[in-house]
């Protein structure tokens, strides 16, 4: 990074701007962070850095590029901005799932981050991502959080996620001459939302003390994040509200083209090269061409230049069924060797100044607002959190299926010895603790043994939380879990068949390791309030009664189809972790049986089917509450000219268990 430009602009950042680093552990005791207070957020990964740890080296290096303090061995780009460290990788676990990454993104958004730096990603065929990650990126867009992610180091026309997802700013790596480095990825998506930044021999901190120079798109990414933080800080200084998405647009629009003498590298240049002075000129409302004509320094140059690099990660095996992010695909890994930089001082290597003809002035245009299924409107006046003994807790309202785990072979074998033989078609067979039917019977007679299991909430067979009932009502909660598990094993035509469950609780800072080796966070239900089993058969009967009461006529098959469609829409299309306010409101809407039956009965009786489900921040709410409007839109599949039917109800999620406010309102709409 051209630090002369930053010194000329006298920029160090504003403490009100928060930048989150999703990476490996960071050595916060390194001298370059002396006098600076980095906030480490608890996650599923260890927070303590190791001097010999690969991911500790990676995370510490990335963090120091942004937050290294002035007059230290690693002066950072935005040393006065507030740093949030969110460890997602550990030194003994270089691969994570997209679910783990989504958890980290949500953690950073909930902590108030303006910018999230992700120096990693997963190589994909077409830039596709799992629903978890797509939802997390959408959450950033809804909350106006800028997500900056590395383009990857595969050296091909290929895409990484999250870098290739909409509204993300992708970052590739270039050398001191402004040419794309051989290992830096490119692609058509990156040409619209990616820029190049210095990524060769970048100076950074080393765990345990000292410095080293490493190469990779991993280390180009925090340079862009740091510059974005300075642009947000400048907005604050000018009395403006920080606007991360506007900053993203400024960085893309001000990007410099690559040299004309290398036309074959045009596509590898992405949208262009990072142009610090041009971005600040656009921010201040100036003309970028005039800025270049009067500037006495180049727009971009490397922060250091010497031999060095980063060793590629050793391949590891991902035994899980979910996509994995790895350090080898993790964008910091260029095919080079990690070595200490020694006593060499950083030597800036400036790029040649671009001729004025290469920089046509471009008017600053507003980006179109993205279409969102789950939208959140901003109100000038918003209520505060409702006071309670759980006021400082993070709530979760999770929708999924119930499961159990043993954690270890010893615990599994203990159950196998204690459980009695099972009568199968008149034959007594040895107990099988993995058979949910046998486990339900055993727990029914020995409910105290439920405490020895690791209860889980699963989404599509993937455990996402462990359930640990606590407090004076823990025994009743275990009884409820046993009954819900009993409902899940019933035949689908049984009145007591439970298809899904909802679990409200407090999201703790604890985690538990399952038998498979997967680590999941722990949710603590406080009581049986809100524990609910979705019994579709019972809902169908309730809806039929409501239709008959109104003199309507709708068959059982149609009502069942519509109810299943609603549940599947939430469970598969809009699946979520149930921690944000809008997700908790959405999940609660599914489990409000009476409300759903009443709404569906009216629409199904009129021959309509579910079209869409949206969640919006409610403009009207009680004092000290957090209210969200759920809108269900129905359409006539046989007559597209018929007006849509919209039902709206408001849910308050300020307490552990959400509650519906008022009555269901409905109206017709042409769109």
Would you name the residues annotated as active-site residues? 23, 58, 218
Query: Is 175:156 a contact under the CB 8 Å cutoff?
Result: no
Classify residue 564 by burial, with Cβ atoms within 10 Å: 0-12, 13-18, 19+.
middle
**Preceding peptide of 162 cis, ω within 30°:** yes
Residues 163 and 108: their CA atoms lie apart, in Å, by 17
Q: Secondary structure of the chain: what % helix, strand, coil (to 5)?
A: 30, 25, 45
| Backbone region of residue 394 per phi and psi (left: phi > 0; alpha: psi in -120 to 50; beta: other values) | beta
Classify residue 44 by burial, with Cβ atoms within 10 Å: 0-12, 13-18, 19+.
buried
Query: CB within 8 A of 630, min separation 6: which ones?
Result: 585, 586, 589, 613, 614, 615, 648, 649, 650, 651
Q: How far is CA 2 from the centre of its chain?
A: 32
What spatial distance separates the first Cα and last Cα of the chain, rounded to whole Å?
50
Q: How many of the other CB atoms lie within 10 Å of CB of 362?
A: 13
Closest listed residue to residue 333, CA positions, set 189, 211, 187, 184:
184
Query: Is 336:217 a contact under the CB 8 Å cutoff?
Result: no
Residues 359 and 353: their CA atoms lie apart, in Å, by 11
From residue 452, alpha-carbon distances to 360, 405, 410, 449, 665 in Å are: 68, 10, 12, 5, 46
DSSP H or E segment with residue 457: strand 454-459
Residues 22 and 148: their CA atoms lie apart, in Å, by 10
What is the maximum alpha-carbon separation in the chain?
Answer: 93
Please count the residues of the chain: 671
User: Across the strands, what pairs with 196?
Assistant: 172, 273
User: Across the strands, what pairs with 661?
Assistant: 650
Query: Is 477:528 a contact under the CB 8 Å cutoff?
Result: yes
Query: Is 587:563 a contact under the CB 8 Å cutoff?
Result: no
| Backbone region of residue 105 per phi and psi (left: phi > 0; alpha: psi in -120 to 50; beta: other values) | alpha
Strands (DSSP E) found in 175-227: 194-198, 202-205, 211-214
Residues 102 and 135: their CA atoms lie apart, in Å, by 8
From residue 16, alpha-carbon distances to 39, 112, 234, 541 in Å are: 13, 10, 11, 55
Query: CB within 8 A of 70, min separation 6: which ones?
Result: 12, 79
Residues 145 and 622: their CA atoms lie apart, in Å, by 28
């Amino acid at each position: 990074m051209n630090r002369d430009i930053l010194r000329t602009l006298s920029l160090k950042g504003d403490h009100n701007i928060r930048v989150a680093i999703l990476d490996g552990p960071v050595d916060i005791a390194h001298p370059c962070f002396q006098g600076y207070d980095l906030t480490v957020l608890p996650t599923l990964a260890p927070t303590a850095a190791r001097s010999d740890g690969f991911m500790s080296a990676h995370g510490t290096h990335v963090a120091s590029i942004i937050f290294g303090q002035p007059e230290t061995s690693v002066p950072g780009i935005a040393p006065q901005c507030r740093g949030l460290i969110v460890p997602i990788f550990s030194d003994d676990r270089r691969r994570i799932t997209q679910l783990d990454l989504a958890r980290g993104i949500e953690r950073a958004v909930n902590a108030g981050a303006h910018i999230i730096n992700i120096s990693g990603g997963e190589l994909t065929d077409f830039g596709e991502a799992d629903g978890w990650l797509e939802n997390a990126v959408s959450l950033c867009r809804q909350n106006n959080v800028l997500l900056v992610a590395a383009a990857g180091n595969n050296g091909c026309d290929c895409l990484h996620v999250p870098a290739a997802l909409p509204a993300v700013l992708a970052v590739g790596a270039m050398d001191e001459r402004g040419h794309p480095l051989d290992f830096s990825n490119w692609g058509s998506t990156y040409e619209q939302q990616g820029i190049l930044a210095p990524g060769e021999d970048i100076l950074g901190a080393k765990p345990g003390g000292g410095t080293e120079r490493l190469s990779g798109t991993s280390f180009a990414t925090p340079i862009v994040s740091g510059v974005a933080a300075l642009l947000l800080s400048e907005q604050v200084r000018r009395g403006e509200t920080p606007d991360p998405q506007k900053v993203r647009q400024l960085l893309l629009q001000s990007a410099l083209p690559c040299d004309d003498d290398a036309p074959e590298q045009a596509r590898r240049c992405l949208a262009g090269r990072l142009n610090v002075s041009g971005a600040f000129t656009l921010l201040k409302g100036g003309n970028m061409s005039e800025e270049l004509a009067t500037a006495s320094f180049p727009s971009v140059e490397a922060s250091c230049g010497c031999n060095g690099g980063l060793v590629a990660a050793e391949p590891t095996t991902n035994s899980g069924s979910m996509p994995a992010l790895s350090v080898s695909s993790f964008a910091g890994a260029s095919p080079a060797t990690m070595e200490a930089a020694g006593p060499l001082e950083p030597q800036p290597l400036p790029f040649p100044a671009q001729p004025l003809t290469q920089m046509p002035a471009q008017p600053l245009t507003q980006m179109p607002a993205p279409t969102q299924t789950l939208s959140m409107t901003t109100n000038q006046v918003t209520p505060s959190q409702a006071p309670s003994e759980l006021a400082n807790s993070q709530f979760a309202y999770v929708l999924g299926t119930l499961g159990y785990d043993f954690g270890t072979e010893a615990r599994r074998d203990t159950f196998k010895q204690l459980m009695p033989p099972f009568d199968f078609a008149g034959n007594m067979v040895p107990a099988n603790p993995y058979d949910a039917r046998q486990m339900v019977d055993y727990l029914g007679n020995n409910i105290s043994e439920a405490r020895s299991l690791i209860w889980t909430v699963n989404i599509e067979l993937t455990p996402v939380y462990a359930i640990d009932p606590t407090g004076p009502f823990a025994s009743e909660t275990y009884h409820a879990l046993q009954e819900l598990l009993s409902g899940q094993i019933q035949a689908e035509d049984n009145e007591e068949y439970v298809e899904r469950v909802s679990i409200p609780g407090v999201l703790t800072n604890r985690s538990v390791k399952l038998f498979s080796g997967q680590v999941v966070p722990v949710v603590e239900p406080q009581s049986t309030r809100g524990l609910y089993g979705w019994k579709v058969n019972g809902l169908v009967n309730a809806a039929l009664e409501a239709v008959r009461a109104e003199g309507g006529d709708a068959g059982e098959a149609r009502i069942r189809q519509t109810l299943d469609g609603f549940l599947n829409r939430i469970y598969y299309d809009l699946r979520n972790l149930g921690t944000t306010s809008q997700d908790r409101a959405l999940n609660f809407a599914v489990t409000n049986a009476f409300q759903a039956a009443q709404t569906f009965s009216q629409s199904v009786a009129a021959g309509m089917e579910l079209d869409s489900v949206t969640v919006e921040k409610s403009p009207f709410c009680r004092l000290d509450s957090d209210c969200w409007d759920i809108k269900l839109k129905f359409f006539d599949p046989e007559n597209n000219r018929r007006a849509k039917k919209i039902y709206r109800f408001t849910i308050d999620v300020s307490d552990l268990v959400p509650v519906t406010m008022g009555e269901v309102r409905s109206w017709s709409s042409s769109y």
